[in-house]
């Protein structure tokens, strides 16, 4: 029996300074409870409509249902699924990381079409630096920042228990700032501009010799895991994709 499967592998290296910071944070949490008194319970108060209207706040997350077929195919296309569930998290992330070997999506499902018909790694990057710095050479770290995180699920027939199909999962941020650097052996890329790429803004298992740098200035950075996905003028995409503004040789 032949089993087709996808796999993801990543080997992480964390500098010793990060380990020291984590130990320091753990020590603070161990000491803190002994020196902090119990919170004071405030008396209950019912707010009037006028008082409620004067209160402003921000939720930790929002959950939205969208129609992902609007504008498809075309530059305004949003995945191509009629039922999209989007979870937006009010989280800001600041990252410095080094992945020695980053590989995703080795498979051959025997299908034909854009992104379906060949085996090999969808993403294969060595010395993958999130933050744009080589720790081994002692260069000070400049972090990669995510301002907000979202998770999207694209479905067909979401209301049907028998015919519901999950077409894609997309994870990342719409507002990345900073730099990513790595030696890209192969990649599936979705670019912001439809004029870049082999299929109207989509690169399929592109080979890029040498070190490549991706600069983000409040731009999208996501990973798309898709069995059926539309982007710009390309439809029926299948595989694991990295959605980025562009990339260039250093």
Q: Does position 227 have pLDDT exceeding 80, yes or no? A: yes
Kindly indicate the confidence band of residue 10, based on its pLDDT and cuts at 50, 70 and 90.
very low
Which helix (H) or strand (E) segment is 5 a member of?
none
Residue 5 pLDDT: 42
Share of the chain above pLDDT 90, in %: 30
pLDDT computed for residue 179 by the predictor: 87
User: How far is Cα 167 from Cα 36, in angstroms, rounded to an integer?
Assistant: 49
What would you report as the CA-atom Rg of the chain, rounded to the nearest whole angstrom? 22
pLDDT tens readout for residues 96-145 = 888 999 998 876 655 555 544 556 788 899 988 888 665 556 656 678 99
pLDDT of residue 173: 96
pLDDT band, residue 17 (cuts 50/70/90): low
Maximum average pLDDT range among 105-119, 180-194, 221-235: 221-235
pTM recorded for the entire structure: 0.70
In angstroms, how far apart are the furthest CA atoms of the chain?
68
Q: Which pLDDT score is estimated for 235?
A: 87
pLDDT of residue 160: 93
Structure token digits, residue 2: 């032949």
So what's the pLDDT on residue 33? 46
* Mean predicted confidence (pLDDT) in 15-28: 50
Quick check: bond before 73 cis, omega within 30? yes
Question: What is the arithmetic mean of pLDDT over 46-57?
Answer: 76
CA nearest to 128, candidates 195, 185, 190, 189:
185
pLDDT classification of 226: cutoffs 50, 70, 90: very high
Residues 6+ apart with CB under 8 A from 59: 90
**Are the CB atoms for 145 and 174 separated by under 8 Å?**
no
> What are the pLDDT digits (tens) for 55-101?
776 667 899 999 988 877 776 778 999 999 999 998 999 888 889 99
Alpha helices in the chain (DSSP H): 16-35, 49-53
- Any idea how long the chain is? 250
What pLDDT was estimated at residue 177? 94
A 10 A CB-CB count for 223 gives: 16
Rank 48-52, 74-78, 234-238 by mean pLDDT and report only the highest: 234-238
Which two structure tokens, joined as six digits, stand for 214?
Answer: 């991706």
Alpha-carbon distance of 190 to 237, in angstroms, equals 11
Express as a percent the part of the chain with pLDDT over 70.
Answer: 68
Q: Is residue 34 scored above 50 in pLDDT?
A: no
Which residues 6+ apart lie within 8 Å of 18 measured at CB? 96
């Amino acid at each position: 029996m032949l089993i087709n499967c996808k796999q993801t592998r990543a080997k992480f290296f964390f500098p010793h300074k990060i380990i020291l910071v984590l130990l320091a944070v753990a020590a603070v949490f161990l000491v803190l409870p002994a020196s902090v008194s119990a919170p004071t319970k405030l008396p209950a108060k019912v707010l009037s409509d006028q008082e409620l209207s004067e209160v402003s706040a921000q939720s930790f997350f929002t959950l939205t249902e969208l129609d992902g077929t609007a504008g498809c195919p075309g530059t305004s296309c949003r995945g191509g699924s009629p039922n999209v569930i989007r979870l937006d998290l009010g989280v800001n992330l600041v990252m410095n990381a080094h992945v020695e070997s980053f590989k995703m999506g080795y498979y051959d499902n025997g299908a034909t079409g854009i992104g379906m018909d060949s085996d090999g790694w969808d993403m294969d990057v060595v010395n993958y630096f999130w933050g744009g710095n080589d720790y081994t050479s002692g260069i000070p770290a400049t972090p990669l920042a995510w301002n907000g995180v979202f998770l999207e699920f694209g479905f067909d027939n979401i209301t049907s228990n028998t015919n519901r199909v999950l077409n894609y999962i997309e994870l990342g941020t719409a507002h990345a700032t900073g730099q990513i650097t790595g030696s890209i052996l192969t990649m599936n890329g979705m670019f912001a501009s439809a004029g870049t790429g082999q299929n109207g803004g989509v690169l399929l298992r592109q080979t890029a010799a040498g070190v490549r740098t991706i600069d983000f200035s409040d731009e999208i950075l996501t990973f798309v895991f898709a069995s059926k996905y539309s982007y710009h003028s390309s439809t029926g995409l299948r595989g694991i994709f990295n959605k980025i503004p562009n990339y260039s040789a250093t």
